[in-house]
Amino acid sequence: MAGNRALAAAYLTLPVVSYFKATGVPMPDPADDTTTLAAAFLIGVSAKWISDILFEMIVRKFRPAAED
C-alpha cells in the first residue's frame, strides 16, 4: 500500500501545483520547493486515506458473515 501513496504523490504533485498556479491560488514563491513538497505530502496522505477507505469497504463486502 505504501507504493500507491508514493506513486500518487510522484505522478500528481507537479500537475496539482501547476493547476493551483494557473487558477491563481495564492502560493509562496514558485522557486521555493516548499510548495511542491507540501503538495506531495498532502497528496500522499490523501491517497493513504482513500486507499484505506476503499480497502475497508472491500473487506467488509467480502468478509464472511459472523455466525452467532
Identity at 45, one-letter amino acid code: V
| CA distance linking residue 16 with residue 44, whole number of Å | 12
pLDDT bin (cut points 50, 70, 90) of residue 68 is: low
- Per-residue pLDDT reduced to its tens digit, 7-48: 777 788 888 888 888 998 888 776 778 878 888 888 888 888
Are 20 and 27 a contacting pair, CB within 8 Å?
yes
DSSP code at position 67: P
pLDDT on residue 13: 82
Which three cell numbers, joined as nine digits, stand for 48?
493513504
pLDDT on residue 1: 54
pTM: 0.65
- pLDDT, average across residues 48-65: 88
pLDDT on residue 15: 86
Q: Backbone phi, then psi, for 67, in 5-degree steps? A: -95, 125
Domain edges within the chain: 2-62
